[in-house]
Amino acid sequence: MKIYNEIDLYRYNTMKLHSIARIMYEPENVDELLAIFRKLKKEGTAFYLLSAGSNIVFGARIERPIVYLMSFNTNMSFGEDGTLECGASVRIQSLLEKMKEFSLGGIEYLASVPSSVGGAVYMNAGRGRKMKRSISDYIESVRYLDVADMQIKNIYGNDGYLYRTSPFQSLNTVILSARFKFVKQDVDITNRLIKERLVYSQRYLSADKPSCGSVFCLMNPVIMRLLRGTGYGGAIFSKKTSNWISNIDNAKVGDIEVLIGKAIRWHKVFFSKYKVEIRFFR
Ligand SMILES: Cc1cc2nc3c(=O)[nH]c(=O)nc-3n(C[C@H](O)[C@H](O)[C@H](O)COP(=O)(O)OP(=O)(O)OC[C@H]3O[C@@H](n4cnc5c(N)ncnc54)[C@H](O)[C@@H]3O)c2cc1C
């Protein structure tokens, strides 16, 4: 297990914020993962789980221990029943490559998302709300550590998933792996769909500057459109993409909070519903 003290999290978050974590653990297999959670549980210490860091805004300093989950389970195996078991630490792009080996498809729209499989399951990553497509469409089961009793358990099926919501968001759990049943698909079609997604992402999303993707998962689109180009400190609501904050000049967590606060105030003025999608680790 790797242990980092006073580490700058710059390379661990896609918003590219400088943040100092007092301590970060990087378990390199499931046994090490269990050992670290046993220790934290025994001490009664609260912790943060970090995967690819593409949906997290870090505070300037983080006292709570962070458990970094990108190394403990990178396994992928294809079962005789046509399912693909995939470790939580696997990057979505590696999963897509593996799917091609078995002529499987279905989640090409995630090709532009800098996510881990664990993070994608936790966030139920997918397309925009109207598209009604997300990674949970293909979930057969998810294996997880229940930190409450330190038992490894499974959730079968995909009933508890909604738009950008998974059952794990209300549980104290660590996703270990997921078993997917993807659709049979010719590799040429998969390659074409991936290419189309990357072109779309380049054309319509502000992926050229550090960001966390969409800020809100429930919002008033008119308000978000009007906020385009509004900046504070080193952060700005993208001029190109609604509901998207970019780090354009060494932004700080406070800059991002001010922008989100401004959007929330406008939602309150117009009695519009909102829900912030980005997670804050402070
Ligand atoms: C350029 C860009 C484009 C994006 N496009 C999309 C998009 O099209 N669709 C979409 O849905 N999202 C998109 N996002 C947002 C983000 O990529 C997703 O939410 C992603 O699934 C987060 O995964 P992650 O591995 O980065 O998780 P992290 O950001 O590291 O963590 C996110 C949350 O999941 C929890 N978590 C992570 N791993 C585990 C685990 N193994 N067990 C339990 N909890 C865990 C963390 O504690 C945290 O609360 C985009 C982001 C960027 C930067």
- Looking at the annotation, which residues are catalytic? 164, 214, 277
CA of residue 54 to ligand 1 center, whole Å:
5
- Its sign, for the CA torsion 36, 39, 42, 48, is negative
Does the CB atom of residue 212 touch ligand 1 within 6 A? Answer: yes
Identify the bridge partners of residue 76 per DSSP, sorted by sequence position.
Answer: 86
| Of 57, 129, 121, nearest in space to 92 by CA | 121
What's the confidence (pLDDT) of residue 80?
A: 86
Does the CB atom of residue 73 touch ligand 1 within 6 A? Answer: no
Does the CB atom of residue 53 touch ligand 1 within 6 A? Answer: yes
What's the confidence (pLDDT) of residue 219?
A: 97
State the ipTM, two decimals.
Answer: 0.99
Domain range 206-281, CATH class: alpha beta
CA of residue 192 to ligand 1 center, whole Å:
24
Answer whether 2-68 and 206-281 agree in fold: no
User: Which residue minimizes the CA distance to atom 50 of ligand 1?
Assistant: 213
Are 150 and 173 in contact, with CB atoms under 8 Å apart?
A: no
Does the CB atom of residue 125 touch ligand 1 within 6 A? Answer: yes
Does the CB atom of residue 215 touch ligand 1 within 6 A? Answer: no
Q: Which residues of the chain have pLDDT under 50?
A: none
Residue 249, SS3?
A: coil
Which is it for strands 66-68 and 183-184: parallel, antiparallel or unpaired? unpaired
User: Which residue minimizes the CA distance to atom 21 of ligand 1?
Assistant: 120
Which is it for strands 275-276 and 216-218: parallel, antiparallel or unpaired? antiparallel
CA of residue 140 to ligand 1 center, whole Å:
20
What's the confidence (pLDDT) of residue 206?
A: 87
User: Which residue minimizes the CA distance to atom 6 of ligand 1?
Assistant: 113
- Its sign, for the CA torsion 201, 56, 135, 90, is positive
Domain chopping of the chain, boundaries: 2-68, 76-188, 206-281
Nearest 5°: the CA angle 9, 194, 137 is 80
Are 243 and 22 in contact, with CB atoms under 8 Å apart?
A: no
Does the CB atom of residue 115 touch ligand 1 within 6 A? Answer: yes
Does the CB atom of residue 54 touch ligand 1 within 6 A? Answer: yes
What's the confidence (pLDDT) of residue 142?
A: 98
Which is it for strands 139-146 and 173-180: parallel, antiparallel or unpaired? antiparallel
Which of the following CATH numbers is that of domain 76-188: 3.30.465.10, 3.30.565.10, 3.40.630.10, 3.40.190.80?
A: 3.30.465.10
Q: Does domain 2-68 have CATH number 3.30.1300.10?
A: no
CA of residue 223 to ligand 1 center, whole Å:
24
